[in-house]
């Protein structure tokens, strides 16, 4: 960098980043509102009509008052276009006349019914639109969450994400529904009320509106405070949700280690922090509403003092004074609603900022520009694989299964600091070729990088460019869906959904046939145990498969992978929870499945990997040995030692 460029760079780096405003967060909602622009416009139209109709009751009450008091001319100060527009109604006026009084009362009832009708449709339309947008937002959030790679979930806690998807989403819906509706009602009501107040008495209107600048200042000050506190409350709720989710998920561990009391105390601290932050918000509200109420009271005192004098001096009638009073009363709701809407918008803006973090998150693993060229458009060709007895209703992949690593060195992105420093490589200079249809076995001590190697093949993490190839082309050049459709992956940490065994086995296969599900379960040696369950394949496995043993969960996961008939089968220590006899039975059945497929076996047991075409030994992220079972035994290294120890253990068990 040149000497001239350096000061500029330092200045740019030192410049503080501007914090996003509430509007910056909320403008993300504009495209969602546009989807329902017709319904929104109709709702705002009915709201405007409701505001216009809402001016009539005050005027009619003024006419009724003048009629009773015997004023010769009702609403005498009302002139110009306002009086011309009301001429059909004013023509019915007659002082001290029962017929006129009855007519005005009937008209008042009719006006209130029309206002109620318009109020119903305003709420039904605008609140309905807010629910539709909530539906769209929730779908978009889930779609984004399932697209994001594991790195995102390493950096973000599940409980906090759940809080954003529930509590924050509800706060945003309040902005779109009640927030917009009451804002529009407030604006229309204030415009109509102030218009007629000016027509009735411009000087009196100026007097009663003197506190308005103070109201505007109060709304701005309290609005900023509420926004800041709302952000803190939402963050505290995310922490609280995370604590609750982790305690519920890990309840068996908590009880096994007798940690109920410490966990309750930790939850109590998070809960108290959440409550204290809410109390601060309540304290702000406790100041805001009394302050508004005081200002409203001052306006009524001004009206009664100044307006009362004008009535006594015969500047206008009692009916005019009474209509003015009711118009001012009508402004009370907008002034109070202004505070409530301010709270809704500030809370919603804070919540939308948290939702935008998810909605704007970019998946770092995706399709490249060359993806379509490499796939050649063959990825979606339908058909049944004919190299095995079982089949699944899945499109056949164009991937053959040849895998090659070239000088791969990999460091987890989550191990690095924000400035890119820190975190050493998990894998170092890996060079490995796996021909299509062959079996690769990976062994090595814990933490040597075995599972990382498998995850890179499935593109759960992205290998550096030019280090991982599939069928001779960079794996990044394949469509992500094409790669993953070609893979059957049984991870080390088995996950089952809270559903039936049938649905768990058929997961990832559209319209799986019953015969295929049964055959996959048979290959995984789980069918006999399933048949012994009262509900067989309709047995609910509970959350994360809690009702099954570790071995049963692993075998269910193997059946799930087999049913897909993948071109690449990855078993990451998938037989660690089964006994050696069951392992041998599963491997015997899997040999037919693996015959024409590229298979990756990761295990600590020599018995699992001894028949592989190629075996590599990883240690500290490097390949230290490679070859067949016999070749590695002849080397007398790590693999030979591992084999000797396991043979000794088996002999001791037999004795």
CATH number at residue 211: 1.20.1560.10
CA distance to 225, 623, 624, 644, per residue, from 218 (Å): 11, 68, 71, 80
Q: Are residues 202 and 266 in the same domain?
A: yes
- The 10 Å CB-count burial string (b at 16+, else e) for 590-620 is beebbeebbbbbbbbbbbbbbebebbbbbbe
Q: Is 16 domain-assigned?
A: no
**Which residue range(s) make up the domain with 446?**
399-486+568-655
Last residue of a domain, one of 532, 565, 598: 565
Token pair listed for 41: 């416009």
Contact 363, 149 (CB under 8 A): yes
Q: Are residues 156 and 236 in the same domain?
A: yes
Q: Is 539 domain-assigned?
A: yes
Q: Is 1 domain-assigned?
A: no
pLDDT for 45 equals 92
Last residue of a domain, one of 359, 387, 410: 359
Q: Are residues 179 and 285 in the same domain?
A: yes
**Distance between CA 252 and CA 246 in Å, rounded?**
11
Q: Are residues 97 and 159 in the same domain?
A: yes
**Distance between CA 410 and CA 268 in Å, rounded?**
41
Per-residue pLDDT of 396-407, as tens digits, reads 567 788 888 888
pLDDT for 22 equals 65
Q: Is 512 domain-assigned?
A: yes
Helix or strand run (H / E) with residue 548: none
pTM comes to 0.68
**Distance between CA 595 and CA 393 in Å, rounded?**
20
CA distance to 228, 231, 336, per residue, from 279 (Å): 14, 14, 21
Split into its structural domains, the chain has a count of 3
pLDDT for 392 equals 43
Neighbours of 386 (CB within 10 A): 9
Q: Are residues 409 and 546 in the same domain?
A: no
Q: Is 380 domain-assigned?
A: no
Q: Is 20 domain-assigned?
A: no
**Distance between CA 618 and CA 638 in Å, rounded?**
10
Q: Is 428 domain-assigned?
A: yes
Query: What averages of pLDDT result for each successive group of 10 residues across the chain (655 residues)?
Result: 38 48 75 88 90 85 83 76 81 84 89 91 90 88 82 77 81 84 84 84 80 73 74 79 76 74 83 86 79 78 78 77 79 70 79 83 70 48 38 57 87 65 77 86 84 85 86 83 82 79 79 79 78 80 73 80 83 75 77 79 81 86 86 83 77 61
Q: Are residues 165 and 260 in the same domain?
A: yes
Last residue of a domain, one of 544, 565, 586: 565
CA distance to 54, 90, 167, 198, per residue, from 87 (Å): 18, 5, 52, 18
pLDDT for 423 equals 64
Q: Are residues 123 and 205 in the same domain?
A: yes
pLDDT for 386 equals 37
Q: Are residues 67 and 115 in the same domain?
A: yes
pLDDT for 382 equals 36
pLDDT for 400 equals 82
Q: Is 393 domain-assigned?
A: no
pLDDT for 120 equals 92
Q: Are residues 465 and 344 in the same domain?
A: no
Q: Are residues 596 and 621 in the same domain?
A: yes
Q: Are residues 146 and 268 in the same domain?
A: yes
Q: List Cβ neighbours of 271 (8 Å cut-off, separation of 6 or more).
A: 240
* CATH number for 602: 3.40.50.300
Q: Are residues 541 and 613 in the same domain?
A: no
């Amino acid at each position: 960098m040149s000497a001239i460029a350096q000061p500029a760079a330092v200045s740019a780096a030192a410049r503080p980043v501007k914090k996003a405003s509430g509007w910056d967060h909320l403008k993300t909602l504009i495209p969602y509102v546009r989807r329902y622009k017709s319904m929104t416009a109709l709702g705002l139209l009915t709201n405007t009509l409701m505001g216009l109709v809402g001016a009539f009751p005050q005027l009619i009450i003024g006419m009724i008052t003048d009629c009773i008091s015997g004023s010769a001319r009702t609403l005498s100060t009302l002139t110009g276009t306002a009086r011309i527009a009301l001429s059909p109604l004013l023509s019915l006026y007659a002082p001290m006349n029962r017929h006129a009084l009855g007519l005005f009362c009937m008209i008042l009832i009719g006006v209130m019914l029309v206002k109620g009708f318009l109020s119903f449709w305003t709420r039904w339309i605008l609140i309905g639109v807010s629910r539709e947008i909530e539906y769209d937002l929730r779908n978009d959030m889930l779609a984004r969450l399932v697209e994001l790679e594991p790195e995102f979930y390493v950096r973000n806690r599940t409980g906090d994400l759940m809080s954003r998807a529930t509590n924050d989403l509800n706060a945003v819906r309040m902005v779109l529904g009640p927030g917009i509706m009451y804002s529009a009602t407030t604006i229309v009501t204030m415009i109509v009320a102030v218009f007629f107040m000016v027509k009735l008495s411009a000087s009196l209107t100026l007097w009663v509106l003197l506190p308005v600048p103070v109201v505007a200042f109060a709304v701005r000050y309290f609005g900023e405070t509420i926004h800041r506190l709302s952000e803190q409350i939402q963050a505290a709720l995310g922490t609280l949700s995370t604590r609750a989710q982790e305690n519920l998920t890990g309840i068996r561990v908590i009880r096994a280690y007798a940690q109920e009391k410490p966990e309750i105390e930790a939850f109590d601290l998070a809960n108290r922090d959440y409550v204290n932050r809410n109390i601060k918000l309540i304290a702000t509200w406790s100041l805001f509403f009394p302050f508004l109420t005081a200002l409203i009271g001052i306006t009524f005192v001004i009206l009664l003092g100044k307006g009362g004098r004008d009535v006594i001096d015969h500047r206008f009638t009692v009916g005019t004074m009474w209509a003015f009073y009711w118009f001012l009363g009508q402004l009370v709701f907008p002034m109070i609603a202004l505070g409530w809407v301010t709270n809704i918008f500030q809370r919603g803006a804070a919540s939308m900022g948290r939702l935008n973090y998810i909605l704007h998150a970019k998946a770092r693993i995706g399709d490249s520009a060359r993806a379509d060229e490499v796939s050649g458009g063959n990825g979606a060709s339908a058909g049944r694989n004919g190299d095995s007895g079982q089949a699944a209703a899945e499109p056949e992949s164009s991937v053959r299964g040849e895998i090659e690593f070239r000088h791969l060195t990999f460091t987890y992105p989550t191990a690095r600091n924000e400035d890119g420093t820190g975190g050493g490589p998990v894998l170092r200079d890996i060079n490995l070729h796996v021909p299509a249809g062959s079996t690769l076995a990976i062994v090595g001590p814990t933490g040597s990088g075995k599972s990382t190697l498998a995850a890179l093949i499935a593109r759960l993490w992205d290998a550096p460019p030019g280090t991982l190839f599939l069928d001779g082309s960079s794996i990044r050049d394949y469509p992500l869906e094409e790669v993953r459709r070609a893979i059957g992956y049984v991870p080390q940490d088995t996950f089952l959904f809270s559903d039936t065994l049938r649905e768990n086995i058929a997961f990832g296969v559209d319209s799986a046939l019953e015969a295929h599900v049964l055959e996959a379960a048979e290959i995984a040696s789980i069918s006999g145990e399933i048949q012994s369950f009262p509900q067989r394949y309709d047995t609910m496995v509970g959350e994360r498969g809690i009702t099954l043993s570790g071995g049963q969960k692993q075998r269910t996961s193997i059946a799930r992978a087999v049913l897909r008939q993948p071109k690449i089968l990855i078993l990451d220590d998938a037989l660690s929870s089964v006994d050696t006899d069951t392992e041998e039975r599963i491997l015997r059945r899997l040999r037919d499945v693996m015959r024409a497929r590229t298979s990756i076996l990761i295990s600590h047991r020599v018995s699992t990997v001894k028949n592989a075409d190629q075996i590599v030994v990883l240690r500290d992220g490097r390949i230290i040995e490679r070859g067949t079972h016999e070749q590695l035994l002849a080397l007398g290294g790590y693999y030979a030692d591992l084999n000797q120890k396991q043979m000794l253990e088996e002999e001791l068990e037999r004795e």
